């Protein structure tokens, strides 16, 4: 497995990481604990050293506990990213980044992850009631205390990123990015390049759509969050198949899979981008990791981008007016 540095931070991680959220929520029935642990450890065996979780993933911090148990044998050999800033109150997610809450969160995460220091600590979503300078100040203190090594923001807007970075340098920003969702290219990526901040795209496979395994005949259970997302409505699945067809044709020419082409495209954008596709299956993990061996030449990349520019992807990421939609890009 190749390594990449996240911006100018000095944090060097595997070129592809593993997003662990889906092992605790959002994609239907949960896997058996032993199977999830086995998959995480299989990723380590295959060279992955970068794992993404969050305090709020799963009931009662299930995901952090799972990741902590799975990676306990590999202390000092892996980098764990987790997040603060979203709490569950009376069954509803609320934003909370008050200084005392951040300190409570970091102590809880350290315990659940079974580590002395958190490698990368993201503010999960920007809290409009707490100035980002105040948040950054607390983080700066936690770094000085040895509780965390690096910090980042998730789904933050460029202005907030600049203000936070001025107080204490950010190592990374995490946001959705893929052939299906290219919004970061307009403002976010140029700002990150200017500031020397790494980029960690989640959902680089379009929440599974870009693998070519989802079409108009696919149904999602009520416990699968895609059932509520506009882009996965039947009419949008049908309309967006043209994107999958393009990727599939490139994959055939490169003797690769659609997922590998989708990931290779993300990797080709900048050397400081590290995607974190999630999966629960070993064969999908191995398929995803195979993307590091796919090279898109400048000409191939140019042709692919030209073709992509002619495709209009339909369907929003989140339902209009939902809390999820309101929390992004702040």
Give catalytic residue positions: 57
* DSSP string computed for 254-298: HT--HHHHHHHHHHHH-TTB----B-S-HHHHHHHHGGGG----H
Gap between the Cα atoms of 169 and 250, Å rounded? 38
Residues facing 172 on adjacent strands:
152, 198
State the alpha helices, DSSP H only, in the chain.
Answer: 33-45, 62-71, 99-113, 132-144, 158-167, 188-195, 234-239, 241-254, 258-269, 282-289, 298-309, 323-326
Gap between the Cα atoms of 171 and 239, Å rounded? 37
Gap between the Cα atoms of 262 and 244, Å rounded? 10
Gap between the Cα atoms of 260 and 210, Å rounded? 10
Residues facing 259 on adjacent strands:
none
Gap between the Cα atoms of 220 and 258, Å rounded? 21
Which of 19, 15, 48 shows the shortest CA–CA distance to 36?
Answer: 19
Query: How many other C-beta atoms lie within 10 A of the C-beta of residue 219?
Result: 7
């Amino acid at each position: 497995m190749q390594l990449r540095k996240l911006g100018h931070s000095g944090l060097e991680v595997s070129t592809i990481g593993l997003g662990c959220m889906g092992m605790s929520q959002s994609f239907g029935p949960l896997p058996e604990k032993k199977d999830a642990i086995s998959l995480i450890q299989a990723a380590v065996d295959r060279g992955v050293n970068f794992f993404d979780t969050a305090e709020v993933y799963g009931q009662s911090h299930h995901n952090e506990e799972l990741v902590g148990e799975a990676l306990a044998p590999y202390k000092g050999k892996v980098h764990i990213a987790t997040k603060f800033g979203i709490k569950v109150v009376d069954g509803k997610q609320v934003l909370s980044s008050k200084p005392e809450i951040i300190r409570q969160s970091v102590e809880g995460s350290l315990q659940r992850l079974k580590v002395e220091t958190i490698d990368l600590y993201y503010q999960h979503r920007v809290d409009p009631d707490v100035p980002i300078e105040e948040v950054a100040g607390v983080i700066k203190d936690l770094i000085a205390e040895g509780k965390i090594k690096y910090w980042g923001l998730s789904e933050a807007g460029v202005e907030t990123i600049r203000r936070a970075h001025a107080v204490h340098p950010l190592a990374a920003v995490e946001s959705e990015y893929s052939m299906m969702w290219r919004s970061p290219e307009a403002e976010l990526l140029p700002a990150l390049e200017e500031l020397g901040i790494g980029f960690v795209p989640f959902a680089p496979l379009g929440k599974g759509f870009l693998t070519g395994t989802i079409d108009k005949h696919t149904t999602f259970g009520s416990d699968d969050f895609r059932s509520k997302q506009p882009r996965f409505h039947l009419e949008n699945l049908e309309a967006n198949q043209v994107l999958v067809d393009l990727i599939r044709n490139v994959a055939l020419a490169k003797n690769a899979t659609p997922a590998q082409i989708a990931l290779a495209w993300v990797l080709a954008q900048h050397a400081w981008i590290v995607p974190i596709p999630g999966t629960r299956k070993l064969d999908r993990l191995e398929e995803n990791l195979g993307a590091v061996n796919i090279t898109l030449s400048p000409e191939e990349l140019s042709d692919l981008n030209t073709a992509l520019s002619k495709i209009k992807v339909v369907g929003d990421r989140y339902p209009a007016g939902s809390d999820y939609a309101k929390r992004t890009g702040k």
